[in-house]
Amino acid sequence: MIEKRIAENVLAAALETGGDYSELYLEDTEQNSISMVDDKVENAQYIRRTGAGVRVLLGGRSAYAYTVDMGEAALIATARAAAAALSGAPICQVQAFSTVRACADAPQQPYSLVDNAARVALLRDGVRAARAYSAEITQVTAGYADVDQRVLIATSDGVWAEDRRPRGRVSFHAVAMQGGEAQTGSVSPGRGEGFSQFQKLDMTALGSEAARMAVTMLHAPDCPAGFVPVVIDGGFGGVILHEACVHSLEATSVAKGNSEFCGKLGQRIASEIVTAVDDGTLPGEWGSMHVDDEGMPTQRNVLIENGVLKTYLVDLVGSRLMNHPRTGSARRQGYSFAPTSRMTNTFFAPGTDDAEEMLRTMGEGLFAKAMGGGSVNPLTGEFNFAVQEGYWVKDGKIFCPVRGATLVGRGADVLMQIDRIGRDMWMSPGMCGSISGSVPTNVGQPRIRVRGITVGGKGGAL
């Protein structure tokens, strides 16, 4: 992407006004996306994005500037724009690039070699299967996206790191209607691999699953409300861990004192059966990278072990402010964002409990088979999540599907109330937004049971 000589000059320019660290980030990203509505392609788009960002630090202070011009003069001007936030004399020199991390291998079936007809064919198979599932399916939308991101991070303390990050994803969204009422179902798998990943997926089955969910919820009564036991299935059920807990463990919140978990390292914050992990090293996973966006290798971070808080997720600025080791967790959407602490692949580790026993012994409550979106306050941990597909349980047996369920509570309370964790863990991809933009993250868990959560719903007794 750039000569090392030029990178050294840019980093040196960023240090001219007294910074103690400078960093150059370069990005070259290709992206394809296709949207389809009822077997018709609505939009097909190709984007190539290139640019660079320069950051300068002095203690816990930072300044950032970026440019789309990759020429040496423009990069140096960008470095000086960031340096203008300081007004001192040079105190540091750029070190030779002694730490080199090159992880730029091409994926199997690079996206640049794939014809758009192959992309469209994936979507068409799923859309047709969803429409054929039931006459009550009135609309099916589908989406395809792939990204091949190449990055280079060079730092004044001698790091030269390159990474290549291919990712791809498909989604199917079905709408079922009857008598003026509508319900939806959706699926959206994806991995951090080349186009070959889609050969492992059955698009017909994915389309049918989205339709099944929509039709099931269409004929479901409204969910009752109350404080009841809740079993949450695996995969995207892990969004509760992601939103209601781990956002509050990011240095972005902790370093400013804006987290309910500030000052709780070494303390018990969850049930003794809970172990929670953020792992950016898992091969081919949606949230994985070889190095983070500060050039540090990603790693497996055990956040909670047997209920005890072990670490936060920490980037360079957070490390300086918190006096806490970095965890390979610095991320950004692209060159126009400075990095900060973010999640990668975050999940509850597998436990030892039987998935069916959780239902048999729960009495009356809710089985949340598929979670929807939600919101959380990192300072208090209070959350509100929609249940996309839910079932009411009576006497330990599934009684009927229910719609319109929400889960309301506080992250710290839910962690303490978990009394079962299943053996089989799986993950689901998503996009997470924060001050450094939108980044791909996986959420996951085995099936878990919570002794009690407030369930919101408009229904009465079933």
State the residue for tokens 């039931």. 134
Task: Kindly tell me if the per-residue pLDDT of 374 is higher than 90.
Answer: no
What is the SS3 assignment for 98? coil
Q: What is the mean pLDDT of residues 2-30?
A: 97
* Alpha carbon distances (Å) from 325 to 22, 265, 436: 19, 13, 20
- What are the tens digits of pLDDT across the range 310-338? 999 999 999 999 999 999 999 999 999 99
Q: What is the mean pLDDT of residues 388-393?
A: 97
- Residue pair 83/64 in contact (Cβ under 8 Å)? The answer is no
Q: State how far the Cα of 235 lies from the Cα of 445, in Å rounded to an integer.
A: 6
In the prediction, which pLDDT does 400 show?
97
Q: Classify strands 159-178 and 137-155 as parallel, antiparallel or unpaired.
A: antiparallel
Q: State how far the Cα of 171 lies from the Cα of 297, in Å rounded to an integer.
A: 31
What is the SS3 assignment for 3? coil
Topology classification of domain 4-218: PmbA/TldD fold (3.30.2290)
Using 50, 70 and 90 to split pLDDT, how confident is the model at 380? Answer: confident
State the residue for tokens 């816990």. 60
Spans of all domains in the chain: 4-218, 226-456
Q: State how far the Cα of 150 lies from the Cα of 206, in Å rounded to an integer.
A: 30
Q: State how far the Cα of 312 lies from the Cα of 114, in Å rounded to an integer.
A: 40
Q: Which two tokens stand for residue 319?
A: 């490390």
E-assigned strand segments in 377-425:
382-394, 397-402, 406-410, 418-421
DSSP state string for 287-340: T--SB-TTSPBP-EEEEEETTEE---B--HHHHHHHT----S-EE-SSTTS--E
Using 50, 70 and 90 to split pLDDT, how confident is the model at 107? Answer: confident
In the prediction, which pLDDT does 376 show?
81
Using 50, 70 and 90 to split pLDDT, how confident is the model at 375? Answer: confident
State pTM to two decimals: 0.95
Rg (Cα) of the chain, in Å, rounded?
24
- What are the tens digits of pLDDT across the range 27-65? 999 999 999 999 899 999 999 999 999 999 999 999 999
- Residue pair 284/193 in contact (Cβ under 8 Å)? The answer is yes
* Torsion angles phi and psi, residue 318, rounded to 5: -60, -40
Q: What is the mean pLDDT of residues 229-246?
A: 92
Task: Kindly tell me if the per-residue pLDDT of 303 is higher than 80.
Answer: yes
In the prediction, which pLDDT does 138 show?
97
Q: Which of 366-375, 400-409, 449-458 has the lowest mean pLDDT?
A: 366-375
In the prediction, which pLDDT does 420 show?
97
CB count within 10 Å of CB 139 equals 17
Q: What is the mean pLDDT of residues 364-371?
A: 96
Q: Which two tokens stand for residue 61?
A: 């202070």
